[in-house]
Amino acid sequence: MHVAPLIAHGAPDAIVAFRNGSPIRAGRFIADIAQLSARLPTTGHVLNACHDRYSFAVGLAACISSNRVSLLPSTHTPEAIRQLGSFAPDAICLTDDPACDIDLPQFQFPPGAVPDAEAWPAPAVALDRLVAYIFTSGSTGVPVPHAKTWGRLVRCVQIEAARLRLLATASCVIVATVPAQHMYGFESTVLLPLQSGNALCAGRPFYPADIASALAAAPAPRMLVSTPVHLRTLLAANIDLPPIELILSATASLDESLARKVEERYAVPLLEIYGSTETGQIASRRTTQTAEWLLWPDVSVSVRDGQTWVEGGHVESATPMGDVLEITGADRFLLRGRVADLVNIAGKRSSLAYLDHQLTSIPGVIDGAFFLREGAPATEIGITRLGALVVAPNLDVKAITSCLRERLDPAFLPRPLLLVPEIRRNATGKLPLHVLQSLLPDP
Amino acid sequence: MQPAASPVTRDLEREIADLMVQALNLTVASADIDPAAPLYREGLGLDSIDILEIALVVSKRYGVEIKADSENNHQIFSSLTALADFIAERRTK
């Protein structure tokens, strides 16, 4: 087999999506794809910024079927967009937001009035077709593209569908609080429903009450794809949800007690997914039953020279991981924290080296260091922010923050940002803890 | 020019500013928060995670549920005064 169809739905009247509680059928989806691919400007690269998940899926599928590559940067800051422009000078931005401020040639979705059409069958796509570059922030200031081919993406989410037993209960509706543009949402809220014959939900509910209404608007059986941040918020708001068959969580690992509270409060199994932008998802666990992660079949983990590597299966090439993995069996492992330099804030990952680089590249900043303080107070939904020390005699906190806002995802903006006369590092260039403590106000 | 806030709203503003500083571990003193400045980005510099935390605090303390389709969600967080007005109109506790 050298091709795989765009969607697994077997007939034009199968439901691929729900928008505001109304179904969108496969035949309509295929027609929307054909119309958009015919109207997209001549270009090889499309930044798909559509907020609406159905529009995103149409944009993605239109690009795939017309041989265009989708670009999914890790953040949409002005600096990230400039760098994307130098990576792919022909890039355009596909957006469904008339007020979109992304500085690329824009193409509005939907493209004018779209007649109520139907088309069938779904096109087949060559397995080796390059369909997307998904970016990580990298450690040197330049975003790193990760090439994703159709066959490997499909293989990965088909294994996920089997792991979640979704193939057996076709026509599950997948409601999600995560964006389609990041790897987890790309796989579990767009490709997973399309490749397992289930339905995605177009909206992206944010507040607890919105999540409850989005679930209530979808017919059963329902699945919720979310994150520790949103699950903690749901519990803290003590909000009721309609019956759900399954909750999926990723971006940061859940502790067992939170997983248990979610399972008990909503009478639902909670599965966690482990993966990275580089590898896609590679393992899952039922957190209330085991701390061990069960690998996707054919994917293997090994440790060489103190570094954990993942390879095989859908993983494009042997990939070093940002987490410390303890191998406990041929097909399983335990997570033992992040590699020293890496941070995870509200489910978003970066490295201190990258953040420091962004900080010190601001004109007028002589030295700077981000830090994560052990024992710093967390908020009710469990967030602890980074801080930063900055040496910049001619700048104030406001000016520096404003420059950082151009370069960094807001999750990484430092709290506090402290101006200091100098940063005394030790011989290895590290910031000793006692130096840090002496500069900081008491928490 | 916005109409001057009533004394009641101004007390509520102060109370909400205290709640925000506490809930978000902000390093700014609540008295230094400009009631007319946006809470998002430039201004107080909050992000979407903060907005989620504020919604949680507001629902617990005042019984006001914020939803994305609450009339003009963006307007609610356009300033401390706007947030205080929104809560003052709907509070149940």
Q: Which residues contact residue A75 at a Cβ distance below 8 angstroms, ignoring those fewer than 6 apart?
A: A137, A408, A409
pLDDT tens, residue by residue, B64-88: 988 887 667 788 999 999 999 999 9
Specify the pLDDT at position A314.
97
Q: Say whether A415 and B42 touch across the interface (CB within 8 A).
A: no
pLDDT-above-70 percentage for chain A: 96
Q: Six-digit token pair at A176?
A: 């999600």
Stated pTM of the model = 0.91
Interface touch B47/A411, C-beta < 8 Å: yes
CATH 3.30.300.30 in chain A is located at 346-439
Mutant choice from B49, B59, B64, B74 vs A, greatest count of A C-beta within 10 A:
B49
pLDDT of residue A170: 62
pLDDT for residue A133 is more than 60:
yes
> Is it the case that residue A150 has pLDDT exceeding 70?
yes
Which range has the worst mean pLDDT, A67-76, A97-106, A120-129, B17-26? B17-26
Whole-angstrom Cα distance, residue A46 to residue A416?
A: 37
Local structure of A90: helix, strand or coil: coil
Task: Lowest mean pLDDT of A178-192, A267-281, A315-329, name the range.
Answer: A315-329
> Would you say residue A109 has pLDDT above 60?
yes
Q: What are phi and psi of A301, to 5 degrees?
A: -120, 135
Query: Do the chains contact at B68 and A206, CB–CB below 8 Å?
Result: yes
Predicted confidence (pLDDT) at residue A141 exceeds the cutoff of 80:
no
Q: Average pLDDT in the A201-228 region?
A: 95
- Tokens encoding A198: 């289930």
Parallel, antiparallel or unpaired: strands A15-19 and A300-304: unpaired
CATH topology of domain A346-439: GMP Synthetase; Chain A, domain 3 (3.30.300)
Q: Which of helix, strand or coil describes residue A218?
A: coil
A117-131, A265-279, B38-52: least confident range: B38-52
**Residue whose entry in the numeric block shows the structure tokens 């007028």:** A364
Chain B contact present for A82, CB below 8 A: no
- Confirm if B23 and A380 have CB atoms less than 8 A apart: yes
Structure tokens at A45: 């690269």
pLDDT bin (cut points 50, 70, 90) of residue A442 is: low
B chain contacts of residue A227, beta-carbon cutoff 8 Å: none
Residue B4 has pLDDT above 90, yes or no: no
Token pair recorded at residue A283: 């393992």
Pick from A205, A207, A413: CB nearest B55 = A207
The pLDDT assigned to B2 comes to: 52
Q: For the residues A208-222, what does the mean pLDDT come to?
A: 95
The better pLDDT of the pair A371, A424 is held by: A371
Question: Model confidence at A305, in pLDDT bands (50, 70, 90)?
Answer: confident
What does each C-alpha distance from A439 to A127, A143, A389 come to in angstroms?
55, 32, 9
DSSP state of A186: I
CA distance A170 to A160: 14
Among A75, A175, A206, the residue to mutate for chain B (most B Cβ within 10 A): A206
- Out of 3.30.420.40, 3.40.190.10, 3.30.70.270, 3.40.50.12780, the CATH code matching A3-337 is 3.40.50.12780
When CB atoms are compared, the residue of A208, A411, A441 closest to B49 is A411
pLDDT at A214: 96
The arithmetic mean of pLDDT across residues A138-163, rounded, is 93
Least confident range of A141-150, A156-165, A182-191, B4-13: B4-13
User: Reduced to 3 states, what is the DSSP secondary structure of residue A285?
Assistant: strand
Measured between beta carbons, the chain B residues lying within 8 angstroms of A230 are: 52
DSSP summary character for residue B46: B
ipTM (interface pTM) = 0.86
Structure confidence at residue A423 as a pLDDT band (50, 70, 90): confident
The amino acid sitting at A325 is L
Chains A & B: contacts with CB separation below 8 Å: 63
**Chain A 183-202, residues with CB within 8 Å of chain B CB atoms:** none
Helix (H) or strand (E) holding A151: helix A150-163
What is the rounded CA–CA span in Å between residue A347 and residue A443?
23
- Residue B14 in this model has a pLDDT that exceeds 90: yes
Q: Which residue has the higher pLDDT, A349 or A267?
A: A267
Enumerate the CATH 3.40.50.12780 domain ranges in chain A, comma separated.
3-337
Which residues lie below 8 Å from residue A321, measured CB to CB, with a gap of 6+? A276, A279, A307, A308, A309, A310, A339
Residue B1: predicted pLDDT:
43
| pLDDT for residue A338 is more than 90 | no
Round to whole Å and give the CA distance between A170 and A185: 20
